[in-house]
Amino acid sequence: MAEAANLEILEWPKKDNRRFLHVVYRVGDLDRTIKFYTECFGMKLLRKRDIPEEKYTNAFLGFGPEQTNFVVELTYNYGVPSYDIGTGFGHFAIATPDVYKLVEEIRAKGGNVTREPGPVKGGSTVIAFVKDPDGYIFELIQRENTPEPLCQVMLRVGDLERSIKFYEKALGLRVVKKVDRPEYKYSIAMLGYAEEEKTTVLELTYNYGVTEYTRGNAFAQLAITTDDVYKSAEVADLVTKELGGKMIRPPGPVPGINTKVTSFLDPDGWKTVLVDNEDFLRELDNAE
């Protein structure tokens, strides 16, 4: 009976209403980062919230409204000027119709271009890499039209097949692309809720023979929507017990804003927060 019940619970992510909501990370100078993202990347500042009693400020930026688009949530902790990004975080990615033009605009504004624009090794897609003022890497990908320019979050993992299984079962993600590059000794898997060109994807990278990375204290978490944090937490609890990771926040409302959330770590220690859809939209309405 228990096994049958568990199987039924594990079907929930496939029925749920999920999308990538935002990615949270820490910066040492909020105004400097906002200026860089708006002027160099063309993002819009969507909202800010200051929590003086907790000594931090958040800023939300993206290419479209939070109701429909994936955004970055920057966290500035009062008086903390820098963070350790670690070796596990890879990059974010922005899709743009003209990588060459965007790189020149970024360079003209003093941006740090770490890989000049040109075709990807072994392929034809034009890419470039730039580094933001805190050291976070952004890949720029040439793509004609996309509903979601903020299109990737790349994290490194120690066991790609285990991670794929984890994210499929715990979050209902599916593999939309998988590439093995033995000549460069790495494999990647793109996971999303739709095709790579139409949505944000989580890119997991496995470097041959590397089973552990440092996570530092800069990157915080990914947030994903759900229609039921309680069911979603049951699923995550079962999957972490099977594949590794752990629950770190039981489902329930966040004090002060009453948005229901639950959170957990994957087998490599990367954090995901699941956020109630209706509560999140209500939170946005209250912020306006």
Catalytic residues: 139
First to last CA, the chain: 48
- As a whole number of angstroms, the distance between CA 194 and CA 173 comes to 9
Give the integer Cα–Cα distance in Å for 128 and 100. 8
Using DSSP bridges, classify how beta strands 201-207 and 150-156 pair: parallel, antiparallel or unpaired.
parallel
The full 3-state SS of 226-239, as one line of letters, equals ECCHHHHHHHHHHH
DSSP string, 188-245: EEEEESS-GGGS-EEEEEEETT-------SSEEEEEEEES-HHHHHHHHHHHHHHHS-
* SS3 track for 119-174: ECCCCCCEEEEEECCCCCEEEEEECCCCCCCEEEEEEECCCHHHHHHHHHHHHCCE
